[in-house]
Amino acid sequence: MKKITAPLTGKQIRSLKAGELVFLSGIIYTARDQAHLRLKRDIGKNRKTPLDLKGQVIYYCGPTPSGKRAIGSCGPTTSGRMDGSTPQMLEAGVRGLIGKGRRSEPVRKAIKKHGAVYFLAPAGAGAYISGCVIDSRAVAYEELGPEAVYRLEVRDLPLIVGIDYGGKDLYSRSI
Partner 1 sequence: MTRKVPAREIQNKVKKLFFKANIMMRPDIKKALEKAYAKERSVRSRYMLKILLDNAEIAKKEKLPLCQDTGLAVIFVEMGCDVRVTGGGIMEALNRGVEEAYTEYNFRKSVVMDPVSREYRNTNTPAVAHLNIVKGSGLRITVMPKGFGSENKSRIMMLDPVQIGDAVTDFCVETVKLAGADACPPYVLGVGVGGTMDLCALLAKKALLKPLAKSGAGGNSLKLGKRILKQVNSLGIGVMGLGGECTALGVNIEMAPTHIAGCPVAVALSCHSLRSASGMV
| Interaction residues for partner 1, span 82-141 (CB under 8 A) | 100-102, 120, 122-128, 130-131
> Rounded CA gap, 13 and 55, in Å?
11
Of the candidate residues 21, 123, 127, 134, the single one contacting ligand SF4 (CB under 6 A):
123
Query: Which partner in ligand SF4, partner 1, none is near 61 (CB below 5 to 8 A by kind)?
Result: partner 1
Q: Binding to partner 1 by residue 145, rule CB under 8 A?
A: yes
Q: How far apart are CA 166 and CA 110, in angstroms?
A: 10
Question: Which of 80, 93, 115, 167 touches partner 1 (CB under 8 A)?
Answer: 80
Q: Is 23 in the site for partner 1 (CB under 8 A)?
A: no
> Among 32, 36, 100, 108, which one carries the catalytic annotation?
36
Is 36 part of the annotated catalytic residue set?
Answer: yes
Instruction: Out of 63, 75, 96, 99, point to the residue binding ligand SF4 (CB under 6 A).
Output: 75
User: Please, are residues 147 and 16 in contact by the beta-carbon 8 Å criterion?
Assistant: no
37 burial type by CB count under 10 A (0-12 exposed, 13-18 middle, 19+ buried): middle
Characterize the bridge pairing of strands 149-163 and 2-6. unpaired
* Residues that contact partner 1, how many (by CB under 8 A): 43
Pick from 131, 21, 120: nearest CA to 80 = 120
| 19, 2 Cβ separation under 8 angstroms | no
The full length of the chain comes to: 175
The binder of 26, among ligand SF4, partner 1, none, by C-beta within 5 to 8 A per type, is none
Q: Which of 19, 30, 18, 23 is nearest to 8 (CA)?
A: 23
Selected binder of partner 1 within 141, 146, 151, 168 (CB under 8 A): 146
Residues found near partner 1 in the complex (CB under 8 A): 19, 21, 34, 61-67, 69, 72-75, 77-80, 100-102, 120, 122-128, 130-131, 144-147, 158, 160, 170-171, 173-175
Catalytic residues: 36
